[in-house]
Every structure is written in C-alpha cells, then in structure tokens.
Structure 1
C-alpha cells in the first residue's frame, strides 16, 4: 500500500461470546485525497470504484487483516455500487479468477429510498461471486422495511445513534427487541453498531442481537503501509 493511500480495519464480534466474526475496512485516504474530501464529494467513490476495490483486495490478499474464517465488510454508496468501475472490477475478477472470499457488501439504508431493478441485478451479480449483502445504518427516521423484503440481505446493521438512544431508556428497549426479532425472522443476522461502552454492550446482548461493533469492542486501526 502506498503512503498516499490508507485504510483502517474495525472488528465485528459475536454478541454471544465476543469471538471474532468479521472486519470492516474503512477508507482513510486514497491517492492523497482525504476521507473528508470523499465524503464532501461522494461522486468520487463511484469515479474511483475500480481502483478502490483493486486496492482493498490487494490488501486482503496479504492475509494480514483478517483470519480465514472472518468476513470482510466493504462499504458502498449506491452510485459506487452501480458504477461502471465496480462492474469492470467484477469482470476483471472473473477473467483473472480472483476469489472474493467471505465478502459482505454494505449499502447504507438511507440510500435505498427507492426500489431500483439495477440494484437487485447488481446484487445478484455479486452473489454469483459468492458475496453476501448487508443493509447498513438501518433504523433511522426514514427506514423502509420494504427494502428489507426486496433485497433479502444476509445482515442488517442497526444504526449506532438509534442503539445509543434506545439503550438510555429501559422503556425504549422493547421496540428495539421487536425490531431485532423481525429482522431475524426475515432470515437476516443483526449487527448492532455504536456499542461504545460496557453498559450498551450488556443491553444489546440481552436483546438477542447476533453481532456487535463499536469502540468498546475495538476502534478502527490503520493498516500499516508496506513502504
């Protein structure tokens, strides 16, 4: 990895026994373009999608960021997911027999306010490579349960702010428990984001949540540069 490009890794662990389950890879800088610039100009994620994915899988191929059994979670914007660069990456992976091993594609739920047949087609294409799919930041103000039915994700990541707010009030935990059970009845495993302290950790464990992620379990750590 070049010094002008950097990623971080953040763990996802079992809510039952705290065992390692997956790692989420997070962009910090690409070709000297900071994460802040990417977030202010989200079209850059689509513009550099091929290069970003190529770099992520090059890092993953070193086998230094996760164990063989852990999943690797990769975030996409909808435009990046549907971009020509992403399609080119999949075509290149097919022609070079690149193995997409234990990969979970995350798309933020707020970006799925419409049903797009192209999203469903692209998900099927990723699934042909053996990839799984996750809806990220689920449970915010504009959450749409229809998207869960339509896209049939393997994982649903509950929004960290919602987890924090609900865990502050014991009265509010009942709706969250029902939401977790509903997602699981649809066949999805539930990941609680924003688990920042032991109190939140204990409460989400009691809600029968499958996996947890947050600063209490592990902060993002920069992947060391090879140069």
Structure 2
C-alpha cells in the first residue's frame, strides 16, 4: 500500500475529533471492544433475526424494542439490495486504495452494476442520514474499492445492526469534500491537536480524562 495510506478507522476518528485520534495513536488503542464485535455480528444474521422470537431478540445487543427491530428488518427486505445485504459476496474484505486502506465489512456485488462496500457501525443512527465519522469512513471504503477495481463506485452503505437500519452514503461533492478535508487533517496535523469546541463530543469521548476535559462519563462508539 502507498506509504502515506491512512486506515479507514483513523479517518473516522479524525472526522469525530482529531485529538481523539491523537490519543488512540499514543496509546495504540485501535482495537474495538468485544461489545462492538457482538453488535457488528448482528449484521450477518439478518435473515435469521427476521424470524427470531421476541425473547430471542431481547437477549441480543439490540438498542430498540424487539417489535421495532422486527419492523426495521421488514423494511430492509423492501430494499433492492436486500438479498446482497443478507448474503454478501465478500465479508471483512481488506481494501487498499491510493490514499487509504482498511476493511469493508461487506462488499455487495450486482450483475452489471458497480459493487457496493458497507461499513457496519455499532452505534445509533441519526434521525436522517449518517453521522460524519461513518460518512467519511464509507467514502474512504468506496474510494479504495474504486482504486482496486479501476471503476467508479457511486455509493457505500452504513449499517446500524443494533437498530436494523441501513443508510446509503452517495459519493456527492459534499461527502467527498468531507473525506478530503479529513484526509488532509490527518496528514497535516503535528503534535497535539486542539480540542474541538463541542462539549457533547468531549463528554462522550473515552479519552476525556486523559485529554483534561472534565465531563460526565459516557463511552463513545461514533469513531469506531
């Protein structure tokens, strides 16, 4: 891979807060906790979970009531790419592009159409769209896949399996701009980045005590 290639996960952290990435690098803290992997595993069980009993769903790491989860999964079956989402061509596919590299949790293949990489997030989706860290990570995955396949990849997906929700990230000018700015931030930052002026981000950051920001204790998953 190119010597200045940036991991997808680093870009996601930097999109959330460059200072968070600094501390993750300093303490070599890039592996997601076990509970994150447990949530991500749900993204590979959609067909099974669609038929699961209420008590079975209640025992899983989902973040909505079982009835809501069932309804959300039924909504997924209406998608044109439902079959590919439920039975992806490739899983945990390592992608290496010109500027970035990392794992696409799924790569969906379509007859005659461009493939679609997916990013599986353990967090909660916003009311609409996708949070910026996942948008940047999704664009990075699409860019890397496009580099490998030597073709345009117009979209990526972000899955929120704890909610049974899937969102589309299109490679619009806005989304590609957010990716490029984040890439530039990672490459150009020297030393300890300034704190972000967002108390909520600090309050939810796992490095808040090391960073010196006094906040209530909550653990963020947004940058993972």
Q: TM-score, normalised by structure 1?
A: 0.25
Q: Say which structure is richer in strand.
A: 1
**More relative contact order, 1 or 2 (CA 8 Å, 6+ apart):** 2
